[in-house]
Structure 1
Amino acid sequence: MALRHFFLVLMVVSIWAFNNVAIKWGLLDLPPLFLTCMRFVVVALVLLPFTRVTRAQLPWLAALAFTFGFMHFSLLFVGIGYTDAGTAAVVVQLGTPIAMLLAWVILKERLSLIQLCGILISLSGVAVLSGSPTIPSWWVLTLLLTSAVGWAVSNLIVKKAPPIKPLTMTGWLSFMAIPVVGLTSWLTEEHQIDALLHATWRGWFGILFSAIASSVVAYSLWYALLKKYNINLIMPYSLLTPVLAVIMGVLVLGDSLNQFKVAGSLLVILGTAIAVINIRNLRMHARFPRLSLRRKH
């Protein structure tokens, strides 16, 4: 990998990690569901004028608006309001092994014994994390796990859906999620407009960073890198996101560290790494880098 692309990868995972800090700042001024809705409004305004969808794609985008827009993002924003940025990022990282399990059960995709062991290690990490005081109640953990399931189910929908360009998908699912998230905010939250009008820079930073930096910029760079390099070379870097989120939470927000949080985070990240990293392909790339580069073209 070229050095400039390596730094681009690090920038992308850093943006995703810092997004948890930005959300925490945004929640100081705005209710979580309303913050989520405003995020979708900004993404839709930025992307919709430049993207088009077909009638065949609309049902799949509607499903993604619920699983990815409402289940994943809304519940993540609500959950972060009750825990710290790093813990939320680690729990939601379970979306990867959950997606692998769902693909195994529903799509009949094969899982090796090593991958199953990695998934079990990840799940054991959640059991350890549940003892951390950073998760104040079982229902907070349930919210974050449901958010992870929403992300996992979204992967299955994308796999079965007709081809949709990534930014087109991001823009239109955001647009279609606005009514669902907005209605839920209207039914369960109060004084949203007043909160927006009196929001400080933290509230607006939470909206704009999550929408523009995390969604539009980071995902654009990520998909560009995936087109240039093998998936098995790029995807493992995403495991840095929860690690950096924990570090940034401690340094920027003053989040605490305890033995449950450290041990549980390590188990989740280690287990996910074992489950997703194709060791055989990595070895081939290390031995025959030129051959690997030719194959991806």
Structure 2
Amino acid sequence: MPIRDVALALAVAVLWGLNFLAIHLSLEQFPPLFLVALRFALLAIPTLVLVPRPDVPLRWLIGYGLGFGTLQFFGLYLGMAAGFPAGLASLVLQSSAPFTVLLGALLLRERLSGRRMTGVAVAVAGLGVVGLARGGLDGWVPFLLVVLGGFGWALGNLASRQAKAERPMHLVLWMAVVPPLPMLALSLAVEGPAQIGDALAGAFTAEALPAWLGLLYTIVAGTVVGSGVWVWLMARHPASTVAPFSMLVPVVGFVAAWAWLGEVPLRGELVGGVLVVLGVLWANGRSRRRRDEVWATPSAASTPSGRRPAPSGPVLDDAAEPVSHTRTTARLIPARPRAGIRSGYGTEHQ
């Protein structure tokens, strides 16, 4: 990925890391399923009026809304409402990354390198360490609910990637049209009109202001800005390249939860968090040898001009990233022994 896209992915990780604090504040006022419906309804209404529908197949728009908007927050909000800590939820939700890598390989036939699979495995091990350190037997139900949210996020990742929207922001906004009705129906059935009415009765007091501020943050920063940039990245890079950056979200989530909510990470959580970060860094790195060898082709030395012929299709490196053919690149060519120069491979720029 270019440096600009890496910086954007890191910015999304910060926005989404702080998102868990905002969700925590909102859940103190509203029941979880109703909160999901309210969150997306407030975004869907102006979207239907002001934003043109994205020119993407309807199945991918609905799939994105059901995966990212509905299933993800169904699991996350229920898990946090059941007592799962905000900092830990920010980590467990990153199960979306290995889910995305696995589904991308199985459904989209994306090529995975051994390096990337190793990095993801290390990050997943870190998630397991944190879960064992804090979850325990009493926390399995909230834990599995948040994991279900991670699976929904992964499904949304693949749907948004397949949509290939020319205007990713329009796709993000129209995704919000999908969750309100099914989530409101679930809220009425599970939480009941009485609980919803009690929450709304106290929603317009000074004590409810933090809940509204948290809701505003999740809508603007979490959904519009964060998801808009994320969809833009997913449309331009393999899912297995972008998804591991989401594992940096818990780093921000842990720090924010410690600073604002007084959640002190346990030793196991810190160890697991380090493993997550190391796994992400390893999965998104490329060895110098593989980066160079991707340009070394047998036909380069055999052509009359001695230059590599233009490829007939996209070239993929070891990390399965598209490589531009217009940029200045380095490739290895056999170097003839000359006086005073070591024989072996030299570097040629074209």
Indicate the TM-score class for this superposition, using the shorter chain for normalisation. Answer: 0.7 to 0.9
What's the counterpart of residue 139 of structure 2?
137
- Gaps in structure 2 of 5+ consecutive residues: 293-323, 329-350
Task: Calculate percent identity across the aligned residue pairs.
Answer: 29
Once the two structures are superposed, the pairs formed by residues 67-82 of structure 1 within 5 Å of their partners are: 67-81=67-81, 82=83
From the superposition, tell whether residues 189 and 235 of structure 1 become closer, same or farther in structure 2 (CA, over 3 Å): closer
Name the residue aligned to 1:88: 89
Please show how residues 168-207 of structure 1 align to structure 2 within 5 Å.
Answer: 168-190=170-192, 191-199=195-203, 200-207=208-215
Q: How many residues are treated as equivalent by the alignment?
A: 290
Q: Which residue does the alignment assign to 1:98?
A: 99
Unaligned 5+ residue runs, structure 1? Answer: 285-291
Cα gap change, 1:276 to 1:32, in 2 (>3 Å): farther
1:258 correspondence with 2:266: yes
> Quick one: distance in 2 between partners of 1:188 and 1:138?
21
Instruction: Normalising by structure 2, report the TM-score.
Output: 0.70
**Residue of structure 1 equivalent to 2:219:** 211
Compare the two structures and name the one with the higher helix fraction: 1
CA displacement, residues 12-41 of structure 1 (integer Å, 9 cap, x when unaligned): 443221110010011111111111111101
The structure that has the greater radius of gyration is 2
Structure 1 residues 198 and 280, CA, compared in 2 at 3 Å: closer, same or farther? farther
SS in 2 for 1:176: coil
Mapped partners of 1:7, 1:66: distance in 2 = 28
**Cα distance change of structure 1 residues 225 and 100 upon mapping to structure 2, 3 Å threshold:** closer
8 A Cα contact 1:125 1:266, kept in partner: yes
How far did residue 275 of structure 1 move? 2.5
TM-score (norm 1): 0.81
Q: What does 1:144-293 correspond to in 2, within 5 Å? A: 144-161=146-163, 163=165, 165-190=167-192, 191-199=195-203, 200-220=208-228, 239-278=247-286
Amino acid at match of 1:94: S
| 250 and 54 in structure 1: CA distance in 2 versus 1, 3 angstrom threshold | closer
**Deviations 1:226-277, CA, capped at 9 Å, x for gaps:** 9999x99998765542211100000001112111211222223322332344
CA RMSD between the two structures: 3.7
CA contact (8 A) 1:130 1:138 kept: no
Structure 1 Cα separation of the partners of residues 10 and 116 of structure 2: 25
Q: Which amino acid in 2 is paired with 1:152?
A: A
Paired with 2:103 and 2:234, the residues of 1 have a C-alpha distance of 23
Map of 2:299 onto structure 1? none
Distance in 1 between residues matched to 2:227 and 2:54, nearest whole Å: 22
- Please tell me the residue identity of whatever aligns with 1:182: L
**Distance in 1 between residues matched to 2:221 and 2:124, nearest whole Å:** 30
Inter-partner Cα distance in structure 2 for 1:55 and 1:10: 28
AA matched with 1:264: G
In the TM superposition, what is the alpha-carbon distance from 1:210 to its structure 2 partner? 0.6
Report if aligned partners of 1:94, 1:122 keep a CA contact under 8 Å in 2. no
Distance, in Å, in 1 between the alignment partners of 2:166 and 2:43 is 17
**CA–CA separation in structure 2 for the residues paired with 1:8 and 1:202:** 28
| Alpha-carbon distance in 1 for matches of 2:56, 2:242 | 31
Q: With a CA cutoff of 8 Å and minimum separation of 6, indicate the structure with the bigger relative contact order.
A: 1
Give the conservation status (yes or no) of the 8 Å contact 1:97–1:275: no
